[in-house]
Amino acid sequence: MKKKYRIKSKFRFTLFLTVAILMMISLTGTIFGANDSESLTKPVYSEIIVQSGDTLWNLAEEFGPHNKDIREVVFEICKINEISADSIYPGQTILIPTYI
């Protein structure tokens, strides 16, 4: 004897199917890396040779991203190059983030 199933609440059944489909889509995207947003924020670096009279503030303003606060750019330059803002010298090569 075969047992038959009946849907008692169309709303609950529809809600269950919607949630199940959304979970499957999310799981599929996660497995295949569709939710990976690393490339959207990955910095690109400009290699700059420090000239006499240059400061990190001037270099950050000239070569850094124009949509960020200069203080944040100077901090990133110091962190990337492992230097302090007052320790640059002419002829030194530093990396400045530019962002795409």
pLDDT at position 85 is 82
Q: Residue 94 burial (CB < 10 Å; 0-12/13-18/19+)?
A: buried
* Higher pLDDT among residues 29 and 24, named by residue: 24
pLDDT at position 34 is 61
Tokens of 85: 């803002």
| Residue 95 contacts residue 81 (beta carbons within 8 Å) | yes
**43-97 classified as CATH 3.10.350.10:** yes
- Domain map (residue ranges) of the chain: 9-37, 43-97
pLDDT tens digit string along 26-47?
888 777 776 566 655 667 888 9
Distance in angstroms (rounded) separating the CA atoms of residues 74 and 28? 40
